Structure 1
Amino acid sequence: MSLAHSNQADSVLEHVLAILPREVARALEALSRGLLEELEEIRLRAGQPLELGLRQRSAFLAESGELTSSASHARRISAGELAQVLQRLTQFSRYAVEEEMRHGYVTLPGGHRVGIAGRAVVEAGRVRAFRHVTSLNVRISRDHPSAAKALLPFLYDHASRRPLSALVVSPPQCGKTTLVRDVARRFSHGDHAPGYQGLKVAVIDERSEIAGSVDGVPQFDLGPRADVLDGCPKAEGMMMAIRSLSPHVVVTDEIGRAEDAVAVLEATLAGVAVVATAHAASLDAWRRRPGMEPLFSARAFDRYIVLSRRRGPGTVEAVLDADGRPLARGSAEG
């Protein structure tokens, strides 16, 4: 059986397998369907055991191809293998992905993100590149078309017939990107409410994770009314979309800089709904991040959706209104 071609679950990993050492790819091919569906991360560290991050646990990959909790029985990744993966990852030209690498990651087709660790080259106080890469973390991107279904009643105002702005807040790996991707898709298709037309959606996909674009072409279904600005900085992209694409909804990922906050406020004041994500353990923690409190004070977001991994990725802990008051707690899981 070939992971790259057998079915939908396998095709998710096609681009990941293409960069891995052949023996590792074959071992992953041999894992059970259930384990493959739980796979979230593949961590490769030079001279260290190959680690797999599963939905509820982590494990090492043994030389036999089985999973083990013992590091001493695990298959180790050599520096040469890591260099080969990095070479494949950058398509034999680091210059082609230099800007992404400067931020510590490279995005693969399909929206998979590969985090990079090693010796940082710093110039004028900014990271310019990475040399002597010592570890890579492959984060698997998956699509869940039902992720936003239960939340749609909180994201559309039927009285005014307009979409609402929402911020999805959680620590990493809790399903934020998956959720906003499905929000974009459902608004685009017109699935947000029976009898309503679809809405024009602009996706500002700075890290190519929402649409998973390859050569600018989305690999995930975002519906017939979605326009994607792939690889475009969020703040600049939001303003470009408002000026030229006339969206009803702007969808973007991981706001966190002061310029992002300004762009969100500009968009909402222009009558455009914004659906975005942010890394934070809670709404209060997000408000304490630099530049974010003005967004809360201005009531730029109509809804706050707080996610966790308590019952697996995408667990909805709370839906809050613009003032942070609860509308639902633990009752709106996709």
Structure 2
Amino acid sequence: MSLHYTFHPINSNPEPKHRGKGTVHQTQDNLSRWFGENLASILLQIQGIAFEDVEEIRLRLERPLLLLGNHREIFIDGQGRAVPPEKGYRIQREDILQALERMTQSSLYAAEEEMKQGFITLPGGHRVGITGEAILKQGQVQTLKHISALNIRVAKAVEGKAEHILPKLLKRDGSLYHTLILSPPRAGKTTLLRDLIQKISDGSPTLHTQGQTVGVVDERRELAGMWQGIPAYNLGYRTDILDGCPKRMGINMLIRSMSPQVIAVDELGHPEDVEAVLDALRTGVKILSTAHALNLEEALSRPTLRVLFESGVFERVVVLSRRHGPGTVEEVIVLKQELDCHRGKVREG
């Protein structure tokens, strides 16, 4: 199996140039190390832009370098300046190849396995979407070649969101209702899930709740941002993490080996995920998860999720949007088994 590009000797974990102690500079430094010298230099020159608000860095072959933030697209030229698209720095094939070398050299085989799903994950939980020519075998994607675009989704830890809604997700005895977080892409569901995991794991003096044992199946390596066994994000004192493990296997592994009170997973959607969740319910464990959907109605239209709703699995549904930026809580829905719902609005001003 081959990624169809040539590796060159490089430092796979280059030290970023010192630019000060600010969070914005640290973000630019940490991200720039995953690119070749040319793109790294451009990213380090960016000024006058709220880099902490950047959510995606998009590299498209022969197209201008593009940063996406909250309700804003910014094209960047060779000096790191915001410009019209026709004046932006044009991504060259070498830029993409150098970025892939830095992003995958530590474990080429593991990267190939991830690339079958169209992405790889960097230390810190940054997720890199990849497009190119798919190589198929018996109808299954084996790898990608002639890579044409990379989309670096910048992972961020934004704490404090969970305190606002956690009381609506807990029973009187402090145990969790089975909860599903719904949102469209880039609306903060993974960030909220991280914060909820940490609050449930540590307990909350404000809410007078005890810490609970949480098992996390981090299939896409985004939730914990594990690197050599150490999580980049704080998921709490009582949290055990299975990194890079498929949900259908990881849920059962955690239940057998770590005795969690809560199982947390990101992005339910496959039939195998549903089966694993239904099996977990028989052990009495609580489920905390996310899924892609604009609202409850859209979630119900998806056959795999509908099975969970019709089985009466979820008791609470949190709906997010980008109306006031990523992580805007539109509503917390209290579900009855027959799928009638009482909607308690939780608006963020």
Q: 1:3–1:317: structure 2 CA closer, same or farther, 3 Å change rule? A: farther
Inter-partner Cα distance in structure 2 for 1:154 and 1:3: 44
TM-score by length of 1: 0.93
1:36 aligns with 2:48: no
| Structure 1 pair 191–299 and aligned structure 2 pair: CA distance change class (3 A) | same
Would you say 1:6 and 2:50 are equivalent positions?
no
> Is 2:147 aligned against 1:133?
yes
Q: Which ranges in structure 2 are unaligned for 5 or more consecutive residues?
A: 1-15
Q: Does 1:331 align with 2:347?
A: yes
**Structure 2 Cα separation of the partners of residues 163 and 192 of structure 1:** 16
Report the secondary structure of 1:120's partner residue: strand
Q: Distance in 1 between matches of 2:48 and 2:254?
A: 41
Aligned-residue offset at 1:80: 1.3
* 1:176 alignment partner, one of 189, 199, 223: 189
Q: 2:29, 2:44 within 8 Å by CA — same for their partners in 1?
A: no
- 1:154 offset after TM fit, Å? 1.2
CA–CA separation in structure 2 for the residues paired with 1:173 and 1:324: 28
Q: Is the 8 A contact 2:262 2:286 kept in 1?
A: yes
SS in 1 for 2:124: coil
Which residue, 83, 88, 91 being the options, matches 1:74? 88
- CA drift of 1:271 comes to 1.4
CA deviation map 1:156-182 (0-9, x unaligned): 101x43111110111110000000000
Paired residue for 1:102? 116
Alignment partners' CA distance in 2, 1:5 and 1:95: 36
Query: Among the aligned pairs, what percent are the same residue?
Result: 39
Q: Is the 8 A contact 2:125 2:226 kept in 1?
A: yes
Q: Which residue of 1 aligns with 2:61?
A: 46
Q: Aligned-pair distance for 1:327?
A: 3.6
Structure 1: how far apart are the matches of 2:302 and 2:18? Answer: 41
Q: Deviations over 1:227-266 (max 9, x none)?
A: 0000110121111111111111111100101111111122
SS at match of 1:202: strand
State the superposition RMSD in angstroms: 2.0
Change (3 A) 1:237 1:191: same
Whole-angstrom CA distance in 2 between matches of 1:192 and 1:284: 36
1:86-165 correspondence runs (5 A): 86-91=100-105, 94-158=108-172, 160-165=173-178
Matches within 5 A, 1:1-334: 2=17, 6-32=21-47, 35-68=50-83, 70-91=84-105, 94-158=108-172, 160-191=173-204, 194-322=207-335, 323=339, 325-331=341-347
Are the counterparts in 1 of residues 181 and 289 from structure 2 also a CA contact under 8 Å? Answer: yes
Is the deviation greater in 20-29 or in 141-150? 20-29
> Is the partner of 1:164 in helix, strand or coil?
coil
Alpha-carbon distance in 1 for matches of 2:159, 2:283: 30
Moved more, 116-125 or 24-33: 24-33
User: CA separation in 2, counterparts of 1:3 and 1:100?
Assistant: 32
Alpha-carbon offset, residue 23 of structure 1: 3.3
The one-letter code of the counterpart of 1:177 is: T
Query: How far is the alpha carbon of 1:2 from its aligned partner?
Result: 4.8
Distance in 1 (CA, whole Å) between partners of 2:75 and 2:87 is: 8
TM-score calculated relative to the size of structure 2 = 0.89
Q: Which residue of 1 aligns with 2:8?
A: none
2:10 equivalent in structure 1? none
Which residue identity is paired with 1:131? K
Distance 1:3 1:262, change over 3 A: farther
